[in-house]
Amino acid sequence: MSIVSTVNTEMEEKVKLSEELWSETCWEIGESRFDPDQAITAGSNFMIGNGYMGYRGTFADDRAGQYPALVVTDTYDNADGTWKELVTAPNGLFTTISCQGKDILWRQGGFREYERRLAMRWGEWSARAQWDTPGILVEEERFCSYDDLHLLTSRTRITALGEVALEITTGIDGTVWSLNGDHFSSLSLEEGPDCLEASCVTGEQGYHLVLREDARLRSGPEGEIEPCRRTALDGTLCRVFQVSLREGQEVVLEKRVVLYSSNDLRDTTKITSDAARGPLPSLAEVRQAVAAGLSRAVARDWNLLREAHRRVWQERWASADIMIGGDPVAQTLIRYNLYHNVIAAPAHADHLPLGARGLSCQAYQGAAFWDQEVFNLPMFLFTEPETARRLLVYRYRTLDGARKKARDLGYRGAFYAWVSGDTGEEICPSYFFRDVLSGRRIRNHFNDWQIHVSPDIAYTVWKYVAATGDQEFLYRYGAEILFEVARFLASRVHYRPGLERYEIIRVLGPDEYHENVDNNYFTNFQAQFVCRYAVETYDTLAEEHPQTVRGLEERIGLEKSERDAWDDIARRIYIPAPDSETGLIEQFQGFFELEDTRPEVIKKRLLDPGEYWGWPNGIAVETQVSKQADVTQLFMLHPQACSREVMKANWEYYEPRTQHGSSLSYAVYAICAAWIGHGEEAYRYFLRSCTVDLLNTGKAVSGGTFIGGIHTAACGVAWQIVVSGFAGMYLTRDGFGFAPHLPPEWESLSFRLKRWGGTLEITLHRRAMTVKALPENPRDIQITLGSAEVSVAPGGQVALPLEG
Amino acid sequence: MSIVSTVNTEMEEKVKLSEELWSETCWEIGESRFDPDQAITAGSNFMIGNGYMGYRGTFADDRAGQYPALVVTDTYDNADGTWKELVTAPNGLFTTISCQGKDILWRQGGFREYERRLAMRWGEWSARAQWDTPGILVEEERFCSYDDLHLLTSRTRITALGEVALEITTGIDGTVWSLNGDHFSSLSLEEGPDCLEASCVTGEQGYHLVLREDARLRSGPEGEIEPCRRTALDGTLCRVFQVSLREGQEVVLEKRVVLYSSNDLRDTTKITSDAARGPLPSLAEVRQAVAAGLSRAVARDWNLLREAHRRVWQERWASADIMIGGDPVAQTLIRYNLYHNVIAAPAHADHLPLGARGLSCQAYQGAAFWDQEVFNLPMFLFTEPETARRLLVYRYRTLDGARKKARDLGYRGAFYAWVSGDTGEEICPSYFFRDVLSGRRIRNHFNDWQIHVSPDIAYTVWKYVAATGDQEFLYRYGAEILFEVARFLASRVHYRPGLERYEIIRVLGPDEYHENVDNNYFTNFQAQFVCRYAVETYDTLAEEHPQTVRGLEERIGLEKSERDAWDDIARRIYIPAPDSETGLIEQFQGFFELEDTRPEVIKKRLLDPGEYWGWPNGIAVETQVSKQADVTQLFMLHPQACSREVMKANWEYYEPRTQHGSSLSYAVYAICAAWIGHGEEAYRYFLRSCTVDLLNTGKAVSGGTFIGGIHTAACGVAWQIVVSGFAGMYLTRDGFGFAPHLPPEWESLSFRLKRWGGTLEITLHRRAMTVKALPENPRDIQITLGSAEVSVAPGGQVALPLEG
């Protein structure tokens, strides 16, 4: 499948995104052909969610084989001894329709006028189809409410195209898809007063998960139809409605599902460990919360529920939207990606991670990786900084887990988990791939050698504080994160006496094919940056906010001598320098001595297409083929790390040697390509990055491990490709700088940026850039464009000519 | 096969060593059954040699398929691009006999009264057999002369058992077994005046190798028979003798083969690199040396040649022999092992290594490993110290290679080659095993991570100087080795700022299954020992022999600050301490966290019996199963490293977890077992170590790589098992200490020890130990036994009672 950026003539006004997908207004994606083999991909692409729960874009009658899932945040549980992951709740939207005694099942196709769509604007899923024999039209719409995060609701309209006898079976499917074992030690489905209830207890943690479903069938505004019986088949509990319709007549099924888990009722304000959250609430308490939530939902008209939900979305898009003129495909893609970043983010909480697959499935354990800070967070930092803050507070709340990991491995400070769930303890298993040739498991060292996650988080503390000026965050949370990371680094570096330098030995850099490497440029640079920032912060705090230093001295035993050690490391850590002739920076020590080849060459060496390419003996290990950007990745975080010439030399060297085995890779190459003037490549990589899920270029299963679902990092970083890459936005001391390189297809580009509590509206045209400051901005913001520097006062507006 | 230590009744007076092997006087091994499938094993076991050449114990008519080989030292050459190894010369003893027009070939068997024997006492091979139809008795004897190292000679007596017409074809076989490619870019076989000549040029190095053969057939003392024709068939050049014999008549074929390589004529006194040896001599010069050598050999009666050869052996055994009373099997085994250590040692030169397979074949490249110092050398140190000195001077002469290796890997000083040939440059390939499941080559890091070889050599400098008092060696050679190794270590350690200690990261210890480990106890301990010794030596030299320090300041830029750095390392390097409760010492950091299992358990996990067990993903890597002794190996070198209780705890822990995949393993466990009072185990491991080759418990090919041949380290260390282990000999400041633990089978044990140029004769009986000092000893030597301390004056003798 490939992107076709022109409007398809047959579809007239629709933007064709691929052979299968289209958009009408650039605010939705839709499909008009149903492919049952695309259940995993489409289920993810069309999913809805609200940061508390995710509901896959499957059909109401789908069973486990079609991978429906209601994924609930803050329910980490280990069912199989290996994978600690979020659980999938019973499916409260489960509904089947039978017409004239014959089951109408979406998954079997056999309909016409089919359409499934996801309205990114409203976070709403809808589908419609017409079955000829017997003749009915079914139209369903659903959303996970942003107004009440515990509410999932749907409305299904069935219109008779002839005279039909309908049987609608609707309730809860308790036999749902779970990736790695059955999480529920008990699961009961019961009929309560006016509702059905699923009540589950997770096997490892003993969390309660209670879900209630209310279903109403109406024929006309007032004509509520009572269910005729209850049925419990194959792990479901449903109520059955029977109704006969004449041609043109319709019935409407409204379903309201409310769910809570034990953790939703626990204290989240003072978490630094699971124990700090206090005891688990009783089942009765959980049930009470569900009952109250369902009462509220039932009491409101469905349209009003939707209205309240939409209001939240409207507000969020007001900050987050990016408008691209002249390129409807790009316009649709960017919104699709921003949408998925938004629904993945637990914006309501500051004790939860943004999962690498969001809430699109259980893959990647619903947990945060370094992706959270480097790929997902920047969009929020500049559009919804309170969400960025919460994600960082989550890192504060999980410091104990990071401290434990460091301690367990013989280090000090905070070594953040590679895979970070609720407590921040490392939940990345030591074994997750198999050698397909021998069938033996492979020990990968993502969990103990990939140390850059810690400085990446501390770096993001810097970035957050720099962008927002949120000193209170720094005093309360950021400084402790920062110092604990610097402390970790100080215990992790090695000093080479003869060379009089610090080194970092035995790591994985971002490129995960090469484990066990030394002096990885990315890692060392980040470590240096963090040590330097820790010293600066220490000095500033000691002078300006000594009570923070005193507090940390008491709380974590901070010592002045540590600050001096960080200073020494920052000064003397080994940072591979660009080669004086070629400008090349070695990804890690010895990289350039590896076989210099290309992904397409070594691919031919595979004995089995399912082989893992990396450590310890995959085909890439002894070559310069990298899984993803590594040196270039550093540039993305530190645009000023080197000259544009050096950046260009390295981009051009590493790019053909990169396999893009990670969805994180394209965006990095896109952003840097924009900076170095490789406009076509930048645009090409932008499209590849934005369509990782949409065009399903990846595989859902690798080495026996399910890796499907939404690549939220690729979604989040789409914002950076456009704003940091094409618009060339960068932070300056007093505002923002820009070095725009818009794709030639783009007539205009417009987005909002927040800083210090104020908002700017940036619009780039071919020849000029306008910057508008909202009237409520608290201060002037300075704009740098080339050699021009102007200040934009609250309510003010400036226009700057663009060169070229 | 198992050792049967009683005399077999059928064999009457013979000592039965195995089902196949016997000894008559404990000075030889013999076999009376011929097994053509044992060609590799028997060819090694029965080999002869003299430190310059090795000639495998095959038969005169054997061709390449039976693995005959004349391996010549100092001929390192790379034929296949991977393996730099010694070459095998044309076979100058090649002879076939045809009788009544029918070829008599040993390899086809079909004889009776067969016997092959190796007389260790004289370094002589002999074989005899009787063919019934036609009836002849063939008796051959041969040796590599210790009187003239370039001479290989044989005498074959053929006795007619009826009337027979013989055709004896004898000459040179140029089509010999070569392990890794054909080393000769040219090889010509020519008939010269009175001799045949093979003249070869090696492909990589362009060395000449010239071999001449003189063959004389006599019937009676004066009746010399002329050859009737020349024949050149199938890569051989031979002369053919025809003779008819009556019953009881005999003919005797005497062959004298002399060979030289280019390197034999080059300067060896000032070598520090190949270039320093000067240009290669011309072919004419090599030929002239061969011609002169052959003239000398031909001019002497064969019995006199043998007499001169035997005189040398007699002298060597006078120093080296160990006499064991009451255990003829052990007596034979120990001599067999000492013999192989002797013939492997290039005692004539100080620029050549003692190969891990000696000159028994090309396996292990004819090169030295750490085995040389730790396993082979100690026997010489106490019985033939001039040979020990030469082996260490070889390490001095190869310092440039070690410096180059250190430099190439980014270090300073001398990082000795894992596989060290003539120049000392690393000739260990990066790839030598294959993953039998995928067919892919495996990158093992023996050549760049197994750093303990450097401190092992420096440690042996200490041991040599301590035992001999040879200060001149220290000034001229030892100090430079030592300081360059300490310098290497100083550049190789890492300092951990938080822990305030030095660590050694990413090594292989002696146990080769676990690569990429940190703080290997053996390696760190050796490094500490060497740094400490370097500091002491520096200080002593600075005070007592400042010109040595000045010379090193000039020659290698030695600085006082380096001495201080070594001091700091010696003080602060991390040495894993015994656990306070269990006494266990961790082999390396994290070892105890590995799966705790046993070799026999994990063996069942093999998918293919040919799988390599070690790095990167063999079955042992993630378990506590070790290939060989590691912690225990350290004890062997430093008996005072810990208490006997700690040693015992560790022996008992590690022993069942050791696979003994290395022939170096048994001896270490034997020696330590003797020390900790595990007498039965000590004896059992002694037998296993001594019969590694004799009973062919190993395999000849592993991972596609030929690893057959004599395990010279196991042979050399046999001396240590008996003297250090059972007799419990250790060095004291003024002499020797003993803590005997003789196996109960042994009635007596007697051996000689040299120190400071003097010799002691030690005899242990059940109840007493006697020590006799030779009259020519230069000084008194002190003997410590338990709490007793006595001095033995030159010519004196003491008897000390043994406890228990």
Task: Write down the catalytic residue from B373, B512, B515, B586.
Answer: B512
CB contact under 8 A, A617 and B442: yes
**What are the CA-CA distances from residue A638 to residues A140, A644, A731 (Å)?**
47, 12, 11
Q: Which of B498, B506, B569 sits opposite A412 (nearest CB)?
A: B498
Amino acid identity of A695? Answer: L
pLDDT in tens, A268-309: 766 556 667 788 999 999 999 999 999 999 999 999 999 999
Q: Describe the strand order of the beta sheet including B48-49 as a list of residue ranges.
A: B48-49, B53-55, B70-72, B88-89
pLDDT, average across residues A69-84: 96
Quick check: B188 pLDDT over 90? yes
Q: Chain A partners of B566 at a C-beta cutoff of 8 Å? A: none
A130 is in an annotated binding site: no
- A616/chain B closest Cα distance in angstroms: 6
pLDDT, average across residues A255-266: 96
pLDDT, average across residues B453-482: 98
- B663/chain A closest Cα distance in angstroms: 28
Peptide bond into B134 cis (omega under 30): yes
Q: Is A190 a catalytic residue?
A: no
**Phi–psi pair at B683, nearest 5 degrees:** -70, -40
Quick check: B462 pLDDT over 80? yes
Q: Does A441 touch chain B (CB under 8 A)?
A: no
> What SS3 state is found at A369?
coil
Quick check: A4 pLDDT over 70? no
pLDDT in tens, A690-714: 999 998 766 666 656 676 899 999 9
Q: Which of A494, A516, A569 sits opposite B494 (nearest CB)?
A: A494
Cβ atoms A166, A136 nearer than 8 A: yes
Nearest CA in chain B to A606: B438
pLDDT, residue B10, reads: 46
CA atoms within 13 A on the CB side of B546: 2
The hierarchical CATH code for the domain B384-598+609-624 is 1.50.10.10
Find residues 487-516 of chain B whose CB sits inside 8 Å of chain A.
Answer: 490-491, 493-499, 502-503, 505-506, 516
Cβ atoms B98, B167 nearer than 8 A: yes
pLDDT in tens, A309-329: 999 999 999 999 999 999 999
Characterise A451 by phi-psi region: left (phi > 0), alpha (psi -120 to 50), beta (else).
alpha
Compute the distance between CA of residue B476 and CA of residue A179 in angstroms, rounded to an integer.
70
Nearest CA in chain A to B491: A498
Cβ atoms A144, A48 nearer than 8 A: yes
Q: Chain B partners of A494 at a C-beta cutoff of 8 Å? A: 494-496, 503, 505
Compute the distance between CA of residue B367 and CA of residue B426 in angstroms, rounded to an integer.
10
Compute the distance between CA of residue B345 and CA of residue B716 in angstroms, rounded to an integer.
10
Beta bridge partners of B104: B97
From the number of C-beta atoms within 10 Å of its C-beta (0-12, 13-18, 19+), residue B357 rates as buried
Strands B735-738 and B781-785: parallel
Amino acid identity of B647? Answer: M
> What SS3 state is found at A244?
strand
- B271/chain A closest Cα distance in angstroms: 29
pLDDT, residue B11, reads: 46
Cβ atoms A352, A74 nearer than 8 A: yes
Counting residues of chain B whose pLDDT is more than 90, the rounded percentage is 90
Going by pLDDT thresholds of 50, 70 and 90, the confidence category of residue B700 is low
Compute the distance between CA of residue A700 and CA of residue A697 in angstroms, rounded to an integer.
10
At residue A168's C-alpha, the angle toward residues A163 and A172, to 5°, is 170
Cβ atoms A312, A147 nearer than 8 A: yes
Task: Tell which residue, B804, B784, B510, B523, has the closest CA to residue B669.
Answer: B510
Q: Does A567 touch chain B (CB under 8 A)?
A: no
Mean pLDDT of chain A: 94
Going by pLDDT thresholds of 50, 70 and 90, the confidence category of residue B705 is low
Going by pLDDT thresholds of 50, 70 and 90, the confidence category of residue A267 is confident
**What are the CA-CA distances from residue B636 to residues A234, A242, B157, B165, B799 (Å)?**
69, 88, 49, 61, 28
Q: Does A430 touch chain B (CB under 8 A)?
A: no
The number of beta carbons lying within 10 Å of the beta carbon of residue A190 is: 13
Domain boundaries, chain A: 34-317
- B403/chain A closest Cα distance in angstroms: 16
B566 vs B695, more confident = B566
pLDDT, residue B698, reads: 62
Task: Tell which residue, A767, A722, A772, has the closest CA to residue A327.
Answer: A722
Compute the distance between CA of residue A278 and CA of residue A396 in angstroms, rounded to an integer.
18
Mean pLDDT check: name the lowest of A123-127, A491-495, B222-226, B279-283. B222-226
Alpha helices in A300-325 (DSSP H): 302-320
Going by pLDDT thresholds of 50, 70 and 90, the confidence category of residue A748 is very high
Task: Write down the catalytic residue from A141, A480, A512, A586.
Answer: A512
Task: Tell which residue, A533, A366, A361, A363, has the closest CA to residue A454.
Answer: A533
CB contact under 8 A, B490 and A497: yes
- Chain A and chain B share a number of CB contacts under 8 A equal to 70
A131 is in an annotated binding site: no
Task: Tell which residue, B451, B476, B294, B313, has the closest CA to residue B396.
Answer: B476
Peptide bond into A134 cis (omega under 30): yes
A370 is in an annotated binding site: yes
- A430/chain B closest Cα distance in angstroms: 12
pLDDT, residue A194, reads: 86
At residue A343's C-alpha, the angle toward residues A713 and A2, to 5°, is 55
CB contact under 8 A, B497 and A491: yes
pLDDT in tens, B363-402: 999 999 999 999 999 999 999 999 999 999 999 999 999 9
Alpha helices in B8-141 (DSSP H): 39-45
Compute the distance between CA of residue B316 and CA of residue B293 in angstroms, rounded to an integer.
24
The hierarchical CATH code for the domain A34-317 is 2.70.98.40
Cβ atoms A506, A517 nearer than 8 A: yes
Q: Chain A partners of B565 at a C-beta cutoff of 8 Å? A: 497-498
pLDDT, residue B493, reads: 97
Characterise A153 by phi-psi region: left (phi > 0), alpha (psi -120 to 50), beta (else).
beta
Amino acid identity of B119? Answer: A
pLDDT in tens, A486-504: 999 999 999 998 899 999 9
pLDDT, average across residues B672-699: 92
pLDDT, average across residues B54-82: 96
Quick check: A1 pLDDT over 50? no
CB contact under 8 A, A622 and B505: no
CB contact under 8 A, B412 and A498: yes
Compute the distance between CA of residue B780 and CA of residue B796 in angstroms, rounded to an integer.
9
pLDDT in tens, A400-447: 999 999 999 999 999 999 999 999 999 999 998 899 999 999 999 999
Quick check: B3 pLDDT over 80? no
- A495/chain B closest Cα distance in angstroms: 5
At residue A257's C-alpha, the angle toward residues A700 and A229, to 5°, is 105
Characterise B60 by phi-psi region: left (phi > 0), alpha (psi -120 to 50), beta (else).
alpha
Q: Does B734 touch chain A (CB under 8 A)?
A: no
Q: Structure tokens of B584?
A: 């266990």
Counting residues of chain A whose pLDDT is more than 70, the rounded percentage is 96
Q: Which of A412, A494, A498 sits opposite B505 (nearest CB)?
A: A494
Place of tokens 């500091």: B535
CB contact under 8 A, B496 and A495: yes
> Rounded to 10 degrees, what is the CA torsion of A592, A597, A599, A600?
170
B132 vs A212, more confident = A212
pLDDT, residue A804, reads: 58
ipTM value for the complex: 0.89
**What are the CA-CA distances from residue B764 to residues B330, B447, B775, B784 (Å)?**
16, 43, 20, 14
Compute the distance between CA of residue B387 and CA of residue B407 in angstroms, rounded to an integer.
30
Compute the distance between CA of residue B106 and CA of residue B127 in angstroms, rounded to an integer.
10
Q: Chain A partners of B447 at a C-beta cutoff of 8 Å? A: none
From the number of C-beta atoms within 10 Å of its C-beta (0-12, 13-18, 19+), residue B75 rates as buried
Q: Which residues contact A611 (CB under 8 A, 6 or more apart)?
A: A435, A436, A437, A618, A619
Amino acid identity of A396? Answer: Y
Sign (positive/negative) of CA torsion B77, B81, B85, B86? Answer: negative
Q: Which of B491, B497, B505 sits opposite A498 (nearest CB)?
A: B491
DSSP string over A247-270: TT-EEEEEEEEEEEEGGGGS--SS
From the number of C-beta atoms within 10 Å of its C-beta (0-12, 13-18, 19+), residue B312 rates as middle
Nearest CA in chain B to A440: B617
Cβ atoms A732, A739 nearer than 8 A: no
pLDDT, residue A3, reads: 40
The topology (CATH level 3) of B735-801 is Maltose phosphorylase, domain 3 (2.60.420)
**Phi–psi pair at B534, nearest 5 degrees:** -65, -40
CB contact under 8 A, A617 and B616: yes
The number of beta carbons lying within 10 Å of the beta carbon of residue A69 is: 29
CB contact under 8 A, A495 and B490: no
Cβ atoms B383, B424 nearer than 8 A: no
Going by pLDDT thresholds of 50, 70 and 90, the confidence category of residue B269 is low
